[in-house]
Structure 1
Amino acid sequence: MGMVRRFSTHALGIAFIGVVCFLLWLTYAFYAKVFTDTVDVQLKTSHIGLQLNKHADVKLRGVIVGEVRDVSTDGDEATVELALKPDQVEEISREVSARILPKTLFGEKYVALVPPAGNEGQHIKAGDVISRDKTAVGIEIEKVLNDALPLLQAVDPADLNATLNALATALEGRGEDIAKTLTQLDGYLKKLNPSMPELVAALTKLTQVSALYGDVTPDLARALRNLTITGNTVVEKEQQLQKFFTDVSTLSTTADGFLTENEDRVIRLGEVSRPVLDLLEKYSPEYPCFLRVMTETAPILNDTFRNGALNINLELITNQPTPYQPNELPKYLDKRGPTCVGKNYSHPGAKPGPYTQDNPAPYITGEDGVIGDHNKNERFPVNLQLNRAAPGFAMDSGAAGSPAEQQVIDSVVGPAMGVAPGDVPDLTTLMVGPLMRGGQVNLK
């Protein structure tokens, strides 16, 4: 009998504990709305969705239409599980979007459903996915909440309350002054706004100039250091500089007196020199050619005057150049411009060089009043062999310069020169005689 009573007591205790646990679970179930029918949907949003608490409200046009059941994230976006009231889903379109808004400045967040514009179409159903509001307003609100969250978490509400109270006390009774200040500020802004593009451009250029100055700062610093050295040098050489400036002043005074006294002469010298300089400029292309001809002539002259003697090859011409006539007065009418005839430089229009004994250069004269070439461009027609004895003559060194030799030479050279044998100059005998003897004419 006792054992039965003890068993009944234990059973009643266990039953009592079970009833208590059941009542606790039932209380939680009612709180969690386990027995309430809901339409479960999902909200895909950014990381701001992680700020929602479980059982946070879901509102449409200010009316609570559901609550938040769970919040999760995959690293890229947040997924919010929403439980909507079945009797309210008829008013919620499938095209609805959502924003996450705070109830107060420091209050909890809730989900605000944003109905679509125009025809709403079918209502939302279980398993649908709601996207976040991607309009400009929605994005701006989301950005403000994201940026303000760290601040709100860091600010103590009591300190904020004290700050706001102090601000309200400071502004109390100053509404009219503040209004005037805002009005003036508005006027300033209206005047400043038209100039904003120029201001922005100026700031951009200022940035470029600043960057440029930043790049050249080492050079500027080096220039300043060099300038310091220059300044120290000027200080050290002060006496020499003063003497230099004194000398310059004296020179300036002397030059001023000279120019004042001779200004007319200096001007006249420039006017007289200008035609000469123009002429020199006109013939300036001839100078390089002249120098090249002189360079090529120098070896020939050295060979001609070798061993301290003048060495020449004598060539007889048909007639001596004829004298100038009375009507051949000097004239300066040459208009050809720069002209140069050298060993390898042909005169325009003449036979080409290089010029040699067999291909002599042309006899070129300007319009100087001379008529013809006066036989200067003719060659001897007889084929003479120089430096060899003329055939048919037996002349030895014993007869050199004798009257007999002179008669022989005059009889040969006279017809070639177009004069009588008796009119042949004695100089001809002295020069042609050695040629006929097979010797060489040397002039010293």
Structure 2
Amino acid sequence: MSDTSTRRAVRLAGTVLASVLVALTVLTYLAYNDAFADTKPITVVSPRAGLVMEDGGKVKFHGLQIGKVTSISYANDQAKLELAVNAKDLRLIPSNATVRIAGTTVFGAKSVEFLAPQKPSDSSLRPGATVTAEAVALEVNTVFENLTRLLGRLDPVSLNATFTALSEGLRGNGDNFGQGLVELDQYLDQLNPKLPALQQDFRQAGQVGQIYGDAAPDIVRILDNLPALSRTVVDQQQDLKATLLAAIGLGNNGYETLAPAEKDLTAALQRLRAPATLLGRYSPEIPCTLQAISKALVTFTPLIGGVRPGLFLTNSFPLGAPVYTYPDSLPIVNASGGPNCRGLPNIPTKMQNGSWFRSPFLVTDNAYIPYKPLEELQVNAPDTLQYLYNGAFAKRSEF
């Protein structure tokens, strides 16, 4: 009885141990295949996937694996890759990220790499999104295929003749060929810094071509007129010769005349710089002044006789100007305020607002005390002799 119980216990323990081992194996397999990982699907569309891209390929971002390729299918000359990306890593990929299918080596297995742009988007890539691969790394079989196609179109005899002629031409000219390569390298070193300017010139060449295209009818018309122009020059060659000889003689005579006064002419031009500058500053006043003179001649011609001799005047006796006093009447050369036409060329000749129109004037800084006209009669004012010989405040009894 005890032996039977012992055998049952051993069998039960073996069964439990085997079950545990199987469970551990299954769990290990599932964990290795990311069965318990939280992944999100992403679809990548590419012109091709590559020969060494298989299910289970790595999906990388910044060089770290963030998922794997679950399936690859082909439709309409395009490869469709289904990716399983870790949910926690998907939030780190910007929505405007691009995809590249590349491998670490030429013969190595390829992987899907997400590339962040220079200006990443603020939003992240959403589950189920479809991304188009921008580039697929070149494979050796593609190179061999293109090379085989090229070699199939070449004639071996012609190729051999070409290589033979090339070898004969280079034999004994190695030094010259090497010197040519050195000079070419120097030219390229000088040309490389100027490539941006050259590219800018090429871009502007299109605009220049457009301008010449618009002017093409005029250019063709000029070319059509060239034969007539050439015939005219040939017919008038004697007159043209005489004109050129006269121009040469005029130039020689002018040089002989002006050469002795060269320094004086230069000095005169230098002295003219200041008045010419001042005249240029006040040049806007010249047209309106001339126009005002023209109008004034028409307006005031009847007042000074016109077609009938005589002069029409309105006389009055205004108060005189204030007498000179020191230092109140000392001048200040500090006036400015041009150019300004002051209402010219319009010349008012009628009353405005019930009073006679007074022409506009400019208040300038030309005296220590502002000018104030006399408003009352001045009695016993100093005369001219007092100013000239004894001062403004001398008494008459001193003469």
Shorter-chain TM-score category?
Answer: 0.3 to 0.5
Larger Rg: 1
Q: TM-score, normalised by structure 2?
A: 0.34
**Could you state the TM-score of these two structures normalised by the residue count of structure 1?**
0.31
